[in-house]
Structure 1
């Protein structure tokens, strides 16, 4: 079992709401400091969109090598820059899309007058060549989610429901929509801490659940491996690299699903923290050494 005493002493002042720890498929600890209701997991939603892309590619609905000019040919600006012409679906997943500034962020979205966020996003300047510069941006995961929805003919929730959510016992979740009713794949998914933890366990098992391969194993491995530099440990396909070779789904205010493959473990945290970095350090200083 895991002793959470020291973690609790650090995490509660940082407004942690709960933590779940599993290793070798067995739950070692679960501690809640608030109700286990469904909460906004913010940008941890991006990692679910990443898995939707992998499933859709396996089903032949898309390819990550597709040019954006082909995938979104009806939404392009009047003048298409060379950098936009070079961008592919893969670039939507790495935060190296080529745009200079973050866009479609939470504080901005309610105030856009244009209801067509796809067109609006593609109008933003592509200042850099794809892959040249890491800029954290909601445009990539949003467009990736839109592409899956267009090709599948349904929203992301109903696309993932039979393919991932239902097999894991997760009932139909709420997910933020754009003004046209399309799932906002960059954020706004609501899950309980236990549902979030199931997702981490699925990833640790390389997409296999109860003998069924829900997500292609190679995609899970690729998405949760370093694909680009980001000035820190690196970034995968909508996953952050972290200490001790870990990878994590990471949402605002401390929503973490941390894969610790060297320990065959998953640690999930939900929080309302203004210092998510300190909360992450507490995980690796107080929980990781006990695994």
Structure 2
């Protein structure tokens, strides 16, 4: 694979590194900075999606459970009809029913309330769940909290034997809330190579080195179009974005990307400090995708 044309724009767009694998083999890579662990921001959500899937297959929870049941002790005094109907599935699709995004990066240091579960559930539910796509950290955060409560440990400890160790990823750092719970909506730190392994796992439908780490059914369900989103026609799964050419991806701020291309049996992963993510995505599909 020739990355020469990509190289011309990569530096201008703030790309720090790229890895491309196809048919199970690494076919291209280039680093514009040293490969260290960096914040993958909202791409962390896809790891929370994986944790939910693992918890489902272990019988710890069901995505059909209602929030008023699983978070009974954290509910506001007055539970609206929309909150009463919301389920765990709605935590994963960005269609929870709240009007604005909360627990976002610039907001988190400013909250007076340390119990973010109570804070999250007290935010008004103004839409029926499943009807309005609103990008919001509340859903994945609560999904991560539920896994932690049912498993009896933090998300890193839960995922270490089930995901990180099999992928030979040393125990990573992950942001926590004021009470010490893993913040499942963001703040996971990984190297580009570690992030790329996660993309490869999902390309292989949850199978790694001959072992099924996460069920194929969950991988396929969580990465297909579950709901429409406001940005494009490709839709949103369970904390994964749909994309062109039948792709799906884990996607974090400043273009932390692991793009899974099942039609090409390929994964493209990128670490970046990009302020023009749409332009970078266009370059990926115009310059790299045609070479696969």
TM-score (norm 1): 0.99
Q: Which residue of 2 aligns with 1:99?
A: 98
Equivalence for 1:250: 251
Question: 1:259 aligns to what?
Answer: 260
The match for 1:72 is 71
Counterpart CA distance in 1 for 2:49 and 2:113 is 26
2: CA distance, partners of 1:33 / 1:158: 32
1:63 equivalent in alignment to 2:59: no
**Aligned partner of residue 167 in structure 1, secondary structure:** coil
| Structure-2 separation of matches of 1:281 and 1:149 | 37
Q: Summarize the alignment of residues 187-202 of structure 1 with structure 2, pairs less than 5 Å apart.
A: 187-202=186-201
| 1:166 Cα deviation from its structure 2 partner | 0.2
Does the residue aligned with 1:66 lie in a helix, a strand or coil? Answer: coil
Give the whole-Å Cα distance in 1 for the aligned partners of 2:6 and 2:121. Answer: 43
Q: Which runs of 5+ in 2 are unaligned?
A: none
The superposition leaves residues 85-121 of structure 1 with CA deviations (integer Å, 9 ceiling, x where unpaired) of 0000000000000000000000010111100000000
Cα displacement string for residues 117-143 of structure 1 (whole angstroms, at most 9, x for unaligned residues): 000000101000000100000000000
Report how far residue 32 of structure 1 moved. Answer: 0.4
Deviation, structure 1 residue 8:
1.2
List structure 1 segments (4+ residues) > 2 angstroms apart after TM superposition. Answer: none
Find the aligned partners of 1:22 and 1:285 in 2 and give their Cα distance: 17
Alignment of 1:132-151 (within 5 A): 132-151=131-150
Aligned equivalent of 2:270: 269
Give the root-mean-square deviation of aligned CA atoms.
0.5
2:203 is matched with 204
Quote the Cα distance in structure 1 between the aligned partners of 2:164 and 2:110: 32
Aligned to 1:47: 46
1:155-192 CA-to-partner distances (Å, cap 9, x unmatched) read 00000000010011000000000000000000000000
Could you tell me how far apart the structure 2 residues matched to 1:250 and 1:130 are?
A: 23
> Secondary structure of the equivalent of 1:172?
coil
Instruction: Give the distance between the partners of 1:149 and 1:64, measured in 2 at CA.
Output: 15
The corresponding residue for 1:213 is 212
Q: Deviations over 1:238-259 (max 9, x none)?
A: 0001111100000000100000
List per-residue Cα deviations over 1:134-154 (Å, max 9, x = no partner): 000000000000000000000
Shift of 1:83: 0.3
